[in-house]
Structure formats: C-alpha cells, structure tokens
Structure 1
Amino acid sequence: MMSIKNISLVMPAYNEAKVIERVVRCYYNNFFKKCKNSEFIIAEDGSDDGTKEILKRLNKEIPFKLVTGNERKGYVTGVRDALKLAKKDYIFFSDSGGGHDINDFFKLAKFMKNYDMVIGYKKIRKDPLNRIILSRGYNFIIGLIFNIWFKDIDCGFRIIKKNVVDDVLKNTKTLNYCIFSEFTIRAFKKGYKIKQYPVKHFRRYIEKIKTFKLMKIPKIMTSLFFGLLRIRLELLKKPLNLSK
C-alpha cells in the first residue's frame, strides 16, 4: 500500500449548500488528519445557493485552500483548474456531493504502488434508473470506439499520480462534458496503468436529482459522441505508447 502522505485532496464544489459542510468535515477528519505532508484544495465555482459562504466560514476553522469564483465556469473547466492547483505527488480527486465513502480512498490507495491511476466505480449505484441506463450505455459506447472497457470511466472518485496529470491534462480539452472520460482514454492510450475498483455510492439529495433534465440528454449525448469520434480520429494518427 502506498504511504498515506504527500497527497493533494482536490474537491470541486458548486451549489452543494445542503451537504458541503458535512462532506468537508468528514473528509478532513477521516482523511486529511491521517495524511502527512498533504493539502486539501476546494475549488468553488460561482455557487449561488450559499455554498461559497459556508466554505468561507469553514475555512476559518479547517485548514484547506479555498479558491472561489464569481461566475460559473462549468464542471469541466472547474475540474481542470482545480487539478492544476495540486502540488503533491498523488492527487485524490473527489466530488463534493456526498455520494462517496471517504474510507474507500484507503482501498484504492493500496493499488497505487503498481498503478498510475485507480478509479472507483459504483458497485451498487444509488441513482435513478435513467441515469444508470445512460451510464452503462455511455461506457459501452466508449468501449466500442476505443476498445477500452471500464465500468464507470467518468467516476469522480479516483487517485492519480501527479506526473500523469501533468502529462495528460494539457491535451484533455475535446469533450465539453465528462472530463474524466477523456482524461482516462488519453492516459490509457499513452500506456499508463489504470485500475478500477468497486466503491460505495450514496444517493444524492432530491434537489440535485430533480435538476437532471431529460430534455438535455440528446444535446449532451450528441456532443459527447462526436467529441469521442474526434478523439478517436486524433489517436489513430498516434502510435500506442507502451513505455510507461
């Protein structure tokens, strides 16, 4: 198992006022306090529900680096900017919606000695049925296009070596949604070793689920499909790198 030290915990936050305090306290007490020479980064993305104010209050008590935004940049840009802030050898990325069990970090960490990235996948998804179907279909399409098969390629709970982020992130800019899908595809095609491991998943609070608008699905899926094809065509021009 990797030594639990020298880790950047990176967490984006947008409109998570109902859960953000509980999540931050949980991660601080059960992860950050146990990790030597580590940092806790929260990148707030122009929330308008009080999330920013809660984080500022918590920051007076809990030592994390808080980066706030006046305007919404969007999840993809927010994640990219947050990852760039990390300085430690390992980056532990987690969404801030309370959907994951912090203790699963230690299960993923035991594989980091032999892998460059370990991705959690939701063993039992607590999502609405339409999301489960879309996710499975999305992962299947990626498998068909790239011949790489992941159960939850875009999962926002993973550990990545810093050198992998430095190498791959700069080219991860094709998809307007699902940044970790593209990141994982590019990392795999560069020859980095990737492991997936089952993690717990908790149902998000009802207000978040209601924001998932079915009318947006065709636009999002069309954008993703053509974005994935562009990545595929680009990668066909490059030889597979197995020297990592």
Structure 2
Amino acid sequence: MKSLSIILPAFNEAANIRHVVEEAYQTIPTLTPIFEIIVVNDGSKDGTGDICDQLVEEFPDVRIVHHPRNRGYGAALKSGIERARYDIIFFTDSDRQFDLKEVAALLEETDAYDIVAGYRARRQDPPHRLLFAWGWNILVRIVLGVRIRDIDCAFKAFNRYVFDSIQIQSVGAMVNTEIFAQASRFGMTVKEVRVSHFPRRHGKPTGSKVAVIMKAFRELIKMRRMVHTITPDQPGLFKRQPSGLETVYSAPQEG
C-alpha cells in the first residue's frame, strides 16, 4: 500500500481550513496508514496561520509551512511538494469545494499512470469563472498542445518520481499548466477521473481577478518558449534544495 502526502495551499481560509483537515483525518486512514497533511499558509491575514498552528498540536500527521507574505498559488504548491515525504503526492484546495473521499478513485489509478488528474463534471462556480476556464483550456491546447480536460482542477495525484524531472517556476495561477506542459514533453502518462465539485461556502476566490488572469497570459507565452528547451534529465524539485523563505512547523514528538 502506497503512502500519501496531501498538500493543502491556503490563503485566507480561516473559515475552511479546519474542516478540510478534519475531513482528511476521517478519510485518509481508510486508504493508507502512512500519510501526512502539509498545509501551506500563503501569507494569510485572516487568522488562518493561527488555526494551522492549533492543528499541528492536535493532529500528529499535520505539518505547516508558513509563508511570511503572500507568494502565490504556484509558490505555495511548490513549498508543499518540496517537503512531501511519501510515495503519492496529492494536492487540493482548502476551500471545501471537493470531496476528499474521492481521493480513493485517484489512488486506484496511480499504479498504471504517472499522474491522475480530476476533472469537475459539474463545476459549481460563477459564470465568469466558467467562461474563463473554458477559454483557458482551449488556449492551452492551442499554444502548448496540452490536452487536459480541466487543467486547473485542484484535485490531482502524482507519483513521487514525477517531480524528479518536473520543476515549478511559476508562482501563480500558471502552475498547473507548467506541470502538464513538462509532463507532456517527457511523455508521462495521465489518467483523468471525474470528481464532484461544490459551491464555495466561505471566503473569496482569487484566481479570477484581472491581475491574476493577465499574469497567467504573460506566463503562457513564456511557457511556450521554455517547453522547447527542457529535457527529461533536467533537475526536478526533488533534485534541488527547498526554498528557504518560509517556516515549517510539525507536531512535537512524544516520548
């Protein structure tokens, strides 16, 4: 049975983060006895960090990475993945829009595929976010040739070895596109699995802000140039040293 690292990026998710971690603790032990939950507090200002520190004390398998300032979604994912210790690396958002019980469906496919990517069958987001996502998926196919049904769905599982070759340089919303552009270039196999999606209950999304969208478009053009220069022997995240701009907290060991 494979061990599991769960990455939870969190920015101003004080109303959600405890619920997500508690749900993980109810679900994941039924799938594997060896797991960890890495919450990356990306410079939150609403008390998310304080709640994370409480969770470390309450749950022995929770680890927290604190960014002193907001560095972006890609940077948060990178910080979490760099510190993952186990066979399968799974990430999802901390906004309670996914059902963690459906992790099981992804894990079942990790023996046969390098990457297992969820896609939202009925996405529960406002119309403007749906329109942007539709256009973005088409644009990524045209510009990069990456044919993923729902590239930014935050419900993905990776075999650990994937990140021996794949790098993450994007600090923002482009991170999923960056990962899959490299995976496509290296001939990695991807399985897409249908997952449920629910309306956000608390907090506000940041991915649809105009500044975030414009930055993603600029990074897409850079990505097109970059993808033709990368080679499978490039050093991935696990062949580099973790960035040192954050603080990591783990539960104290007993004994």
Shorter-chain TM band: 0.7 to 0.9
Q: Which residue of 2 aligns with 1:191?
A: 187
How do 1:62-141 and structure 2 match up within 5 A?
Answer: 62-63=59-60, 64-141=62-139
**1:40 shift after superposition:** 1.7
Q: How has the CA–CA distance of structure 1 residues 213 and 127 changed in structure 2, closer, same or farther, with 3 Å as cutoff?
A: closer
Identify unmatched segments of 5+ residues in structure 2: 233-255
Q: How has the CA–CA distance of structure 1 residues 206 and 57 changed in structure 2, closer, same or farther, with 3 Å as cutoff?
A: closer
* Cα distance in 2 for residues equivalent to 1:55 and 1:79: 16
Deviates more, 1:154-163 or 1:219-228: 219-228
Q: How has the CA–CA distance of structure 1 residues 217 and 14 changed in structure 2, closer, same or farther, with 3 Å as cutoff?
A: closer
Q: How has the CA–CA distance of structure 1 residues 176 and 231 changed in structure 2, closer, same or farther, with 3 Å as cutoff?
A: farther
* Cα distance in 2 for residues equivalent to 1:52 and 1:17: 8
**1:173 shift after superposition:** 1.8
Runs of 4+ with >6 A deviation: none
* Cα distance in 2 for residues equivalent to 1:12 and 1:212: 13
**1:218 shift after superposition:** 5.8
* Cα distance in 2 for residues equivalent to 1:190 and 1:215: 32
* Cα distance in 2 for residues equivalent to 1:125 and 1:32: 28
* Cα distance in 2 for residues equivalent to 1:14 and 1:152: 22
* Cα distance in 1 for residues equivalent to 2:211 and 2:41: 24
**1:140 shift after superposition:** 0.7
**1:57 shift after superposition:** 1.5
Identify unmatched segments of 5+ residues in structure 1: 240-244
How do 1:157-236 and structure 2 match up within 5 A?
Answer: 157-169=155-167, 172-173=168-169, 176-205=172-201, 207-209=203-205, 215-216=210-211, 219-234=214-229
Instruction: Write the deviation string for residues 47-102 of structure 1: whole angstroms up to 9, x where unpaired.
Output: 11011111111222112112222222221111111100011111111111111110
SS of aligned partner of 2:158: strand
Preserved contact between residue 46 and residue 72 of structure 1 (Cα < 8 Å): yes
Q: Which residue of 2 aligns with 1:242?
A: none
Preserved contact between residue 71 and residue 171 of structure 2 (Cα < 8 Å): no
**1:146 shift after superposition:** 2.7
Q: How has the CA–CA distance of structure 1 residues 214 and 97 changed in structure 2, closer, same or farther, with 3 Å as cutoff?
A: closer
**Superposed CA RMSD:** 2.1
Preserved contact between residue 32 and residue 40 of structure 1 (Cα < 8 Å): no
Equivalent pairs, count: 231
* Cα distance in 1 for residues equivalent to 2:171 and 2:226: 9
Q: How has the CA–CA distance of structure 1 residues 220 and 60 changed in structure 2, closer, same or farther, with 3 Å as cutoff?
A: same
* Cα distance in 1 for residues equivalent to 2:113 and 2:86: 17
Q: Which residue of 1 aligns with 2:52?
A: 55
AA of the residue aligned to 1:204: R
* Cα distance in 2 for residues equivalent to 1:193 and 1:159: 12
Higher helix share: 1
Identical aligned pairs, as a percentage?
A: 28
* Cα distance in 2 for residues equivalent to 1:175 and 1:214: 15
Q: How has the CA–CA distance of structure 1 residues 224 and 135 changed in structure 2, closer, same or farther, with 3 Å as cutoff?
A: farther
**1:45 shift after superposition:** 1.5
AA of the residue aligned to 2:140: I
TM-score, normalised by the number of residues in structure 1: 0.86
AA of the residue aligned to 2:118: G
* Cα distance in 1 for residues equivalent to 2:170 and 2:57: 38
* Cα distance in 2 for residues equivalent to 1:6 and 1:131: 34
* Cα distance in 1 for residues equivalent to 2:11 and 2:213: 24
Preserved contact between residue 176 and residue 224 of structure 1 (Cα < 8 Å): no
